[in-house]
Structure formats: structure tokens, C-alpha cells
Structure 1
Amino acid sequence: MPKITANDGRLTVLNLFTTATPEKQQELLTAMRGVTDTADIEGWISTTVHAGQDSPGTANFIQWRSAADLEARYADEEFKRRTAPAFGQLATSVRLLQNEIAFTQQREAGGTELSPERDDWTVIELFGVAEADQEELIDALGASQGWLVDVPGYRTHTVLRGLRARGVEGRFVVVYGQWESKEAHDAFRGRPEGERGAERVKVDERVAALSTWRDVNTYRVVHTRSAGE
């Protein structure tokens, strides 16, 4: 079972796809499972496939040993001629994000696990940011949110430092969050500002001031595989 660990030296790739319909999403998920189950690539560590919930689409959380291993994958003729075009035909947009783990937090000890055997309601948020503000935004989204462990339904969140991307211009930061249910997450997001508490209001205002744009979708993990399985 893949785990997210801060400062592990790995390259974390988050591939986000949107689709026009749930049917296209299912076709894309089937194709991704096929690629994941046959993966035997130098430097590849794990892939976790997510199905979009609020909006049709998919997310692949992929762990690599290094950026050089990923670039070798992108240069592979099979990938360039068949895999990438097949995914592109099913998707309405494709964003390939290379990151490193900057921060992790969990309500309970044991790290952040990725598995379809868990019932996590997964929330992936993507923030645009000026290069000069990236580290401050990482702090605002990470270490400054210790109070989240006391929020009902919260499980974990991971902040990823965006390094480079295809399909996204400029610098970015990603938050990968796990909640116990859609209802718990919706209650948190929908709480009126007057009921949010001073710490949260301060952080929300800081994030809004530092980020240049924001995109979010919710997911369920549907498949995962690690090297050697």
C-alpha cells in the first residue's frame, strides 16, 4: 500500500484529467488500470488511480525515484505513440504536475495511506502562486493549519511543492486531503465565515491573498499498485 511521507526524496507526479461525461471517465479509468497493472518501469514506485466525484475526471498519484526516471518514461516510444495519445483522446484537459512533498499532517499516527480499501473522501486542490510567494503559501496551507486535526471528519492533508508541469503555467501548490465523508468535508467548507474561528479566518485570508487562482475536485481511490506487486 503506497504511503505519503515528507522528505522522502521521491518525485511525486499528480496527473489530473477532466472528462466530458461520467462514461468517458470510466473509459479513462479502465485504460489507466491497464497501464498501472502492467507497469514495469525503471524508477517507478507506485500508482494510485482516483475517480472524480464532484466533476468527471481522474487523478493519478504516482511516486517516482527521480525526475530522470520520469523523463525516460516520457521519452519512451510506446508512451509517446500509444499511451499518451489514448489518454488525451478521452480527456478534455490534461495536467501533468511534478512535485515534492513539502508537508504532511494526520489526525492519527501511521502516516497517509492510499488504498481503495479505505473509504476516504479525497479532495485535491490546486493553487496558482507567484514564484516569490510559493513557500509562504506552502506554510499557509500546511504548518499553519494544525487546528485542522480538531475538525470533525478530518483525516489527513499533504501539501506538495510544485516543481514543473505540463498544462499549467507558472508556479503552483497542491493540497491532497482525506476526509471521512463527503458530508464532513461539505460541512467544513460550507461553514459561514462568522462561525469559522479566528485561526481559520486568518489562514483563509492569507491563502486568498497569496494564491492567484484555485481549482478543486473530489475523488475516490479505485485502484493502486506498487512496484514488485
Structure 2
Amino acid sequence: MPLISPDDGYLTVFNLFETDTPALQDDVLDAMRDIIDHADYPGWISSTLHAGVDTPGTANYIQWRSAADLQARYEGRKFQQKTVPLFHRLARTVRLLKTEVAFTQHHPSLGDAVEISPKRDDHTVLIVLDTEPENQKELLETLAKPDEWIKTVPGYRSHTYFRGLDGTFVVNYAQWDSKELYDAFHTLPEEQRPADVRAGRLRARELVTKRQANTYRVVHTRSAGD
């Protein structure tokens, strides 16, 4: 089972696909499952597939040993001539985001680590925050810090911030008990949030140039050696 930890040193890749219809989402999921189930690439650690909930789309959370291993995969003939054209045909947009874990926090009830697995019932929220390269460091410092208040919010399980390696974005990957509880948190009036949280959210909005968000459920995972 994949675990999220800033200590493992893995390169984390988010493959995000937006599709026009749920049927096309299913087609992408089928294609991704086949790739995951036959994955045998040097340096590949794990892949965890997510199905879109709020809007059609998929997210593949992939852990690699290094950027060099990933690049070897991307340069492969099959990937270039078959995989890339297939997904561009099925999906309206495709983003391949290379990241590293910058900060993670979880509710004490979850134990020692953040786990992602189809055996769990997480309502997963994934948000990509685009920013100018000169602002990425401040954006991370604003958002990626301990937050004791959110541990008291009903339904909160975990949240992790990832640093985009090209310097142009930050990813927030969060787990909640349910869509209803996350939506209640997301729409909570600003005046009901602590002052330091409000200040951080305000500054983050000033630093972000574009926001891409969707919610997901984990549907499939496989790790090297399974």
C-alpha cells in the first residue's frame, strides 16, 4: 500500500486527465488499470488510480525512485507512440506533474502515516495551485505548515502539500471522511475560521495565478513486487 512521507525521497508524479463524459472517464480508467497491472519499469515504486467524483476525470498518483527513472519511461518508444496518443484521444486535458512531498499532516486517529488505498473510503481532494516561479517558495511557506485547528474540523483526515519541481505550481492532496463534510469545510464562512488561517488563505489567493481542483475516490493501486 502506498504511503505518503516526506522521508522516503520518492519523486511523486500526478497524471491528471479531464474528460468530457463519465463514459470517457471509464475508458481512461480501463487503460490506466492495464498499464498499472503490467508496470515493470526500473525505478517504478507504485501507482494509485483515482476516479473523478465532482467532474469527469482521473488522477494517477505515481511514486518513482528518481527523475532519471521516470525520464527513461517517458523516452520509451511504446510510451511515445502508443500511450501518449491514446490518452490525448480520450482526455480533454492531460497534465503530467513532477513533484516532491513538502509537508504532510494527518488526524491522530490515522496512526503513524498517510495511506492511499482503494480499501479505504477516503473522499480525496486534489488541488493544483499554479504560481509564478518567484512566488512558489512563499506559497508553500504560507500553506504548508502545521494546522491544529483543521484537526478539529469534522471529517478531516489528512492533507499533503507537494512542491512542483519546475517551480510553477503546488499540489494539495487531502483526504476527508465524506463529500458532505468536505463541502461543509470548503464553504465555511471566512469569519468562522481562525485569524491566522484567514490570513494565510488571503495571501495564498494573491500568489496563485490559476486553480485546478477535483474530488476523487481511489479505485486501484499496485506497487512494485505485488
Shorter-chain TM-score above 0.5: yes
Identity fraction in percent = 53
Match of 1:50 in 2: 50
Aligned-partner Cα distance in 1 for 2:151–2:200:
15
Match of 1:162 in 2: 164
Match of 1:3 in 2: 3
RMSD value, Cα: 1.2
Aligned-partner Cα distance in 1 for 2:62–2:173:
13
Match of 2:39 in 1: 39
Aligned-partner Cα distance in 2 for 1:144–1:210:
20
The DSSP-based 3-state class of the residue aligned with 1:145 is: coil
One-letter amino acid of the structure 2 residue matched with residue 119 of structure 1: D
Do structure 1's residue 193 and structure 2's residue 190 form an aligned pair?
A: yes
Match of 2:121 in 1: 119
Counterpart of 1:210 (choices 201, 204, 207) is 207
One-letter amino acid of the structure 1 residue matched with residue 192 of structure 2: E
The DSSP-based 3-state class of the residue aligned with 1:143 is: coil
Residues 26 and 94 (structure 1), Cα distance of their counterparts in 2 relative to 1, 3 Å cut: same
Match of 1:29 in 2: 29
The DSSP-based 3-state class of the residue aligned with 1:54 is: coil
Q: Is the 8 A contact 1:49 1:223 kept in 2?
A: yes
Aligned-partner Cα distance in 2 for 1:139–1:218:
24
Structure 1: 5+ residue stretches without partners: 165-169
Q: Is the 8 A contact 2:123 2:179 kept in 1?
A: yes
Aligned-partner Cα distance in 2 for 1:6–1:172:
18
Q: Is the 8 A contact 1:44 1:64 kept in 2?
A: yes
Give a deviation string over 1:103-127, Cα, whole Å, max 9, x none.
0101123211010010000000111
The offset of 1:146, in angstroms, is: 3.7
Structure 2: 5+ residue stretches without partners: none
Q: Is the 8 A contact 1:15 1:96 kept in 2?
A: yes
Q: Please, which moves more after superposition, 42-51 or 210-219? A: 210-219
The offset of 1:134, in angstroms, is: 0.9
Give a deviation string over 1:168-203, Cα, whole Å, max 9, x none.
xx6000000000100110000111222223232112
Counterpart of 2:219 (choices 204, 216, 222) is 222
Aligned-partner Cα distance in 1 for 2:94–2:36:
18
Aligned-partner Cα distance in 1 for 2:34–2:148:
39
One-letter amino acid of the structure 1 residue matched with residue 84 of structure 2: A
Match of 1:141 in 2: 143
Equivalences, count: 224
Q: Is the 8 A contact 2:126 2:174 kept in 1?
A: yes
* TM-score for both structures, normalised by structure 1: 0.95
* TM-score for both structures, normalised by structure 2: 0.96
Match of 2:154 in 1: 152
Q: Please, which moves more after superposition, 109-118 or 130-139? A: 130-139
The offset of 1:7, in angstroms, is: 3.3
The offset of 1:135, in angstroms, is: 1.5
The offset of 1:132, in angstroms, is: 1.9
Q: Is the 8 A contact 2:52 2:216 kept in 1?
A: yes
